[in-house]
Amino acid sequence: MAFSNQQQSIIKNIEKHIDLLLIPSYKKTFDILENIEKHIKQIKQWIPKQAIIAIGKLPIQTILNGSLMNDVSNFLHLFIDKSTKEIQNWSKSSLKPYNILGLDTKNDTLFWFQVYQDLTKNNSFMRRLKNKPLHHVDQAIVVSSLEEGVGSSLFPLISSQLQTMNINPISIAVLPSQVQPSDVNFNTFSSLGLSILSGSIPIILVSRDNLENYVGVNRKGTKIESNMIINYLIELLTNKTNLAQEISELSRSFNIKFFTPILATGASFRIYGSIENMLETGLFKPLLEFDLSSASVIYVFLRIPSHLKTKLSREKIDLSLANWLSDKVNLKSIYLTDPIYTQNTNDRIDAVMLVGGFNTTNLFTSMKNKIESIKNEALNLSFIDEKEWQKIDESLIKI
């Protein structure tokens, strides 16, 4: 069983008191056994209900450098990459063994199939995953950069494995930059296709270009730039403990494979004056370039200071949302979940819209054109099976 930092501190105090028992009784100034007993009562079993799982260098370093690492009592943080030692170096030894899962392989890991085929033949890695303290976890946020061989191969495998463990995953896939070469697009295209084929959906898509160009503010009014918005997005998603279940139900009901976020963060109600104005600002900084008018469903939740609850009840937000969307998109469903009311004294609001069912044909066709040469070479060298590739291709282009 793993312990939180607070519990480890209590155990150290118990050890110190035990050492004091060796001191002659006439030199003792307090009842050591009584104090040991008090410390033991403070130890509670650590049972995290949510996990934050980062796969690959970019997500790992992003989360390690963010505020998400400040809360180790409520979340299981799990970092997965090729090398255990590298993850330890990135964390500057702040992580425990149960936080790290390294492939630790000498095999090549440049392409997705080099890792994927090895892991599907050998289940030792998945056994090690099951040995992590995931037994009581209900919901997991899985974030991976799909450009690398490790991240692209593990993304569908980890998400699928979590589902078999009765854990609801929310999968966030970071797509490569427009300027990156064909090998990273090959890994990304393949990973998304394999995710669909394995049933590891829905998937939240974000673009690396859009991430790196992002500028916003948090609810304290502090600037958020670049990849740090990933930390803020994950923090917002973990606020909704039933989010994965609700999104999955929405995905199944309308056959939606992909979502993408539109965010309005740290928006002052006094300055913006309405929910509609806040949401409008989110359109100017999307995390993926897409056609909003082609979307079919939207899942929405807001984090609101409790003193604004009367002004911004769920019913009023529902009407504002429907009004704002009426001239933008013809939706099959708008799913407004219960707002999260916080004890903040300011008037800053966070709004998350997960837009689903938008047209992905241009996105995946463009990616497919970039990888034609490298895909053909992999087929000619029998690195990948032609029938398997056809299934991957059709899962994305014929969505």
Is residue 88 included in any domain, yes or no?
yes
pLDDT interval class at 113 (50, 70, 90):
very high
Q: What is the mean pLDDT of residues 285-290?
A: 94
The better pLDDT of the pair 8, 285 is held by 285
- Please state, for a pLDDT cut of 70, what percent of the chain lies above it: 88
18 plus 51 within the same structural domain: no
pLDDT tops 70 at residue 49: yes
pLDDT interval class at 45 (50, 70, 90):
low
Q: What pLDDT does residue 221 have? A: 87
Is residue 314 included in any domain, yes or no?
yes
- At 190, give phi and psi (nearest 5°): -65, -40
Locate the DSSP E strands across the chain.
50-55, 75-81, 100-102, 139-145, 168-175, 203-207, 215-217, 223-225, 258-268, 297-305, 333-336, 340-342, 348-356
pLDDT tops 60 at residue 119: yes
CATH number assigned to the domain comprising residue 344: 3.30.1330.20
Is residue 333 included in any domain, yes or no?
yes
Q: Which of 23-37, 267-281, 347-361 has the lowest mean pLDDT?
A: 23-37
65 plus 180 within the same structural domain: yes
User: Dihedral (C-alpha) 288, 291, 293, 298: value to the nearest 10 degrees?
Assistant: -20
Q: What pLDDT does residue 1 have? A: 44
Q: What is the DSSP string of 193-249?
A: HHHHHTT---EEEEEHHHHHT-EEE-TTS-EEETTHHHHHHHHHHHT-TTHHHHHHH
Q: What is the mean pLDDT of residues 43-52?
A: 78
Q: What pLDDT does residue 74 have? A: 82
Q: What pLDDT does residue 398 have? A: 73
Helix, strand, coil shares of the chain, percent, nearest 5, are 50, 20, 35
Q: Which pLDDT tens digit goes with each residue over 366-390? A: 999 999 999 999 999 999 999 999 9
Q: Which of 190, 183, 250 is nearest to 395 (CA)?
A: 190
Q: What pLDDT does residue 40 have? A: 56
172 plus 64 within the same structural domain: yes
pLDDT tops 90 at residue 344: no
62 plus 188 within the same structural domain: yes
Is residue 222 included in any domain, yes or no?
no
Q: Which of 7-11, 22-26, 147-151, 368-372 has the lowest mean pLDDT?
A: 22-26
Is residue 101 included in any domain, yes or no?
yes
Residue-averaged pLDDT of the chain? 88
Is residue 164 included in any domain, yes or no?
yes
Is residue 160 included in any domain, yes or no?
yes
| Contact criterion met (CB below 8 Å) for 145 and 174 | yes
Q: What is the mean pLDDT of residues 108-122?
A: 91
The Cα–Cα gap between 153 and 399 comes to 21
28 plus 52 within the same structural domain: no
pLDDT interval class at 241 (50, 70, 90):
confident
Domain count, the chain: 3
Q: Which of 62-76, 237-251, 257-271, 273-287 has the lowest mean pLDDT?
A: 62-76
Most confident of 3-7, 188-192, 326-330: 188-192
CATH number assigned to the domain comprising residue 67: 3.40.50.1440
56 plus 191 within the same structural domain: yes
User: What are 192-195's contacts with CB under 8 Å, separation 24+?
Assistant: 192/146, 192/364, 192/396, 193/391, 193/392, 193/393, 193/395, 193/396, 194/112, 194/116, 194/156, 194/392, 195/155, 195/156, 195/159, 195/171
252 plus 284 within the same structural domain: yes
pLDDT tops 60 at residue 235: yes
Q: What is the mean pLDDT of residues 320-336?
A: 91
56 plus 120 within the same structural domain: yes
Q: Which of 84, 109, 122 is nearest to 187 (CA)?
A: 109
Please name the residue that has the structure tokens 């008090």: 38
- Please state, for a pLDDT cut of 90, what percent of the chain lies above it: 71
55 plus 136 within the same structural domain: yes
Q: What pLDDT does residue 8 have? A: 58
pLDDT tops 70 at residue 3: no
Is residue 305 included in any domain, yes or no?
yes
Task: Give the range of the structural domain holding residue 93, as residue numbers without chain letter.
Answer: 47-201+373-399
Q: Which residues contact 177 (CB under 8 A, 6 or more apart)?
A: 207, 208, 209, 212
The Cα–Cα gap between 142 and 60 comes to 11
355 plus 391 within the same structural domain: no
332 plus 390 within the same structural domain: no
- At 303, give phi and psi (nearest 5°): -110, 120
124 plus 175 within the same structural domain: yes
Residues, the chain = 399
